[in-house]
Structures are given as C-alpha cells and as structure tokens.
Structure 1
C-alpha cells in the first residue's frame, strides 16, 4: 500500500476542531515516519467549500460523489450542522456507499448521527458528544449509546466524544497502524496528554465539580481531590465542613448526583486511572497514593467503574507511557 487514504467527510456547520485534530495529527505522523504515509482528503457534496461552525470556510479536496477507490479510513466529522447533514439523503447515501470500501469507519463528535442514519451503528456500541447522547439514543434505539467514553471501538467502527476527543481517537488509530512510538511522537508534537484511554469519561469529575453552585460542595470536592489519602468518610467530611452527615449527603445528591462515599470512590478511581496510564508505578503504590485500603479494593473499584481490572486497563495503553518508576501493575 503506497499510502493510507483517510477520507474526512464534511458539511456546512462542521466543527473546525473536529477536522483539524484529525488532519493535523495525521500530518505529524507522516513527518515522524508513519508508513505507509497518510493522505488526508476532505470530501464534500459536489466538492463545494463548507462553512464551519466558527464561520471559517474550508476548501474541499474531493467530490464525495466521485470517490470510488478503496479507503483506509472513512471518517465523518461532527458539528452543529450534523442534523441537517443527517437529513441529507445524498450525503448519508454516499457515506453508506463508501463504508464497504473502507478498512475502518469512524466519526468524531456528532458525526455519529450521520453514521447512525446510514445504518452503520446498528447493534454497535457508540459514543458521541455528551450533550447529544440522549438525542442519539432516542432517535436510534438500535444503537447502543454510551455517553461517557472518550471513544469507543466496536469491530471496524469507531466513534468518539466531543471535539478534542478527535485527537484521542486519531492517536489510537495511529498507534494501531504504526505502533506506540509514532503515536507518542504525535502526542508530543501536539503537546497533548499522551493518550486518554477510550474508556475514560468525556467529562472528568475533577472538571465537572467546578460547576457546582453550592459552596459547601465546592469546598468538599476540592478537599477530596487534594487529600485522597485522608479520612474521607461522610462523617469526617461533615465534621470538617460544619454540617450534619444527612445534610452533606443531601447536598451531594442534589449537586453531583452521588453520595459523598460514591464521589470519593470515583475520585480515587479516576486518579488511579490517570496514574495507570501516565506512569509505570506498580498497582500497590497507586492504591496507596489514591487512598485505597488495598489493591483488591482498587481492583473492585476499577471493575465497577470501567468494566475491566487495572491490568487490562493499563495493557490497552501499553507502550504509550514513559514516566514514573517501578514495574507495571499486576
């Protein structure tokens, strides 16, 4: 294969970042030795320029109607125009026509709506931007929508969450094609986190908590994030912030939809997930750093949160971590 043809399908109202995260990552991969090299082509109906969400216009590189050659990857971008695009029988028809010509099919963000309309997500697990997940699930009940992951691979079809998750998905595809060294080089070139695992939540609780309106909950969640190894029982937290356990539980239920204990467990699990993918620390050390009483309690928390033990979670990202010390988790 002299090159890998990576066809990006766009339309009016496409999100520029959805496109740029993909094409820029592929360009960097080429510069550092991807082989065969990628040829990224932006395709539109009639080969017309498209107006992105931001107002900038992108010139098309190909007419969607004229493409008949084998593809390495067919990827549909997302954007606020995805509803109109999914309602276009011509665009959806060409996506459906091109899918069998591609080694793999993918979407970024709300591009999953177009894949679903084309019947390419039927009976598959898929994700999309968290804001649109409920709509996708309601409209296409035969699609197994999971709003949390950054990206999902089901067979030869991959879908990703909102906007910059396009970079995470593209890094995963680059690693699949070229190995971890090239993927890591692309991550370093884009000054990105080496690679968020597909199962990681689109909205980390450490980000989401900052939107909490209640002062007590904000202080409590800040304290939890900074003191994972402390006594974080509901009683200890209630005493620290001068409220009753019942009132603290009511506040957490109202503002974060979790009990204090559930929030603490999830915070510790997310912190452990980061250490597993960003360091080579052994599991026992990670458990201690994140406040788990034992490696077994960490394993159980991982199984509950991610549906996989820590060892499998880490092995899926094997080769992309380069920091920390000690043997990998067992």
Structure 2
C-alpha cells in the first residue's frame, strides 16, 4: 500500500518547503515504478494557500476536516512568519492527533515552530533554519536545537533546516523506506547531493556577529575584525582596554557569550570564507592572511565551524565570484 505523506502548508508558507519535498517523493514513485507514496497538501484554513512569494497553492484538504488516522508521514512546511505567530488551537489539536497516529512526523525550516507550539518537540533534538535557531531555543527551552545540521532524526521526529534542506530530509526518508539505490537515483534525477557535504553553517551570513557589550569592548571587536591576521592573544586584547587578562576574559565571556579565543577564531573563519569565495587565494595563503598558524590549523578550525574543508569550500563557492573565460 502507498504510504500517505501529508504536508501541512500554513498561511504565507515558503513555497519550496512544500514543492521540494513533494518532488522528491514523486520522483521516488517514478524510480520505484510503483506508487510508493500518496501525496497530499493540507491547509490550516479553507481556500487557496497564499505563499510568501505571492503564489497561491491549491490544497487537497483542510486539516480540521481531515481524519488524522492513516497518515504515515506528517510534515509541516515553514513560513517566514512562523516564529512570530501562534497557530489556531484547532490546528494544534489536529497536529497532536495526527502526530500520535503517524509513523513519523516532522518539519521543514520554520515549521519547527508550529510543532513546538503544539508541544510535539518537547525534549527532542531538532534543527531549523540557522537564522532562527536561537529564537527556537529561547521560546522553547526544553528543545535541543542543532543549528548546523541539515536534518535531524530523533525517534519518530524528523526536522530539516532551511528551505532546500527539506529535500535532503525527504531523500533521507526515501532511503529509509525504499533503500539507498532508489534514493541515489532520485538524487541523480533531481541533480541534488545524495549526502550534502558539511552543515548549514556554510550557508549562514559568514557567522560574523555585530559587536556587542560596552563601547570599549566593541572597539576591541572591531579592531580584531579589521585585522584578523594579527596576534590576538588574550593578554594583548586586554591591554587595549587596560585590564588584566583574567578580568578581560571574564568580561568578554559575560558580555559577548564566547571566550575571546572562540570569538577570534570565528572572525578569522569569516575572513577566510570571504577570501576563499573570491577564488584568488589558495588555502595555504588564506591561512597566513587570516591569522592561522598554518594551513592544517585553518583546516581543523574550518571543519569544526563550517563542516567542510577549506579546499572543498573554495571549490563549491569560488565559482560564484569568478567570471567564466
């Protein structure tokens, strides 16, 4: 029997959060040469669903008029407004019933906020779009958020990061159901990674935070950002504020939320990413220009913070900055 995949599209839904996963499951049907999945789009209210891009989406049913039983996989698509909105209580009740009856449930992008409002992520490890991961933690402290993961499974809960990551999640579900070979064929046909390299940190806005804290501390942060290659040991940074190294380190962690060494590494990685994207410098040159002792030190830090090596990052992103011959 085909497995029913129900994708809930809230008002102002991100269109690709819906169409991306559906295309993955539809291609799996084609590759399996059998109806492995029956696909349905459900809305929170009657009438066409207006997406965040303005395109209207016709649904297959309204959640409050749909029996929750029989749904194998329940996914909630994201919306730019999801972190700020409270779902209709009737929708929340339906989601709870459908999640309990389903084999698995989850979200794409900010759809995690909708599930969290329903109490369906309590005590779970999840992911969401990197830009709102901090807000999910603040609003729902019982949830563990992996802000770098492309997708996460915790028991029957499956969550994906922003937008296109919904396709990665759906491909993982296809692999779980139909096997690796079918999933590989789906990825090949859709021209997507079978296993995407690295996490979503590589797509974030360089990881550079706005200077925070008292004005003198902000001046130190601006100086480091402008001169990443210089020696930024705690003792030298403390001298700039006329403080002892211990006092400075304690103050920095309190007001910035990171140790000075962690923050300096973050700034250097951001500078390295910009240089690598230009395609003008090799990783060895980048290491010296961004304050790393050698290319191996850069590589270890890059893998830790971005999830892929500097060489891989340059290969993937430098082309966007270079003109074709």
Match of 1:267 in 2: 302
CA distance in 2: counterparts of 1:272 and 1:21, whole angstroms: 28
Match of 2:202 in 1: 204
8 Å contact kept, 1:8–1:19? yes
Of stretches 148-157 and 181-190 in structure 1, the one that deviates more from structure 2 is: 181-190
Match of 1:155 in 2: 155
Shift of the 205–18 alpha-carbon distance from structure 1 to 2, 3 Å rule, reads closer
Match of 2:12 in 1: 13
Name the SS for the 1:116 alignment partner. Answer: helix
Unaligned runs of 5+ in 1: 242-247, 253-258, 276-330
Q: What TM-score comes out, normalization by structure 2 length?
A: 0.68
Unaligned runs of 5+ in 2: 210-224, 229-267, 313-325
In the comparison of the two structures, how many residue pairs are matched? 251
Shift of the 7–272 alpha-carbon distance from structure 1 to 2, 3 Å rule, reads same
1:45-84 matched pairs, under 5 angstroms: 45-68=44-67, 69-83=69-83
Shift of the 89–181 alpha-carbon distance from structure 1 to 2, 3 Å rule, reads same
Match of 1:188 in 2: 188
Match of 1:132 in 2: 132
CA distance in 2: counterparts of 1:273 and 1:101, whole angstroms: 45
Shift of the 175–220 alpha-carbon distance from structure 1 to 2, 3 Å rule, reads closer
Match of 1:143 in 2: 143
In the TM superposition, residue 67 of structure 1 has moved relative to its aligned partner by: 2.0
CA distance in 2: counterparts of 1:153 and 1:139, whole angstroms: 21
Shift of the 272–89 alpha-carbon distance from structure 1 to 2, 3 Å rule, reads same
CA distance in 1: counterparts of 2:119 and 2:37, whole angstroms: 27
Which protein is bigger by CA-based radius of gyration? 2
CA distance in 2: counterparts of 1:272 and 1:101, whole angstroms: 42
Deviations 1:171-226 (A, max 9, x none): 100000000111111111111122227xx421317983899x85976875536996
Tell whether 2:148 aligns with 1:113.
Answer: no
Match of 1:93 in 2: 93
Name the SS for the 1:204 alignment partner. Answer: helix
Name the SS for the 1:86 alignment partner. Answer: coil
Shift of the 89–196 alpha-carbon distance from structure 1 to 2, 3 Å rule, reads same
Deviations 1:26-55 (A, max 9, x none): 111111116551111000134421100000
Deviations 1:35-92 (A, max 9, x none): 5511110001344211000000001101211222321100000011324653321222
CA distance in 2: counterparts of 1:96 and 1:31, whole angstroms: 32
Shift of the 30–136 alpha-carbon distance from structure 1 to 2, 3 Å rule, reads same
CA distance in 2: counterparts of 1:274 and 1:38, whole angstroms: 39
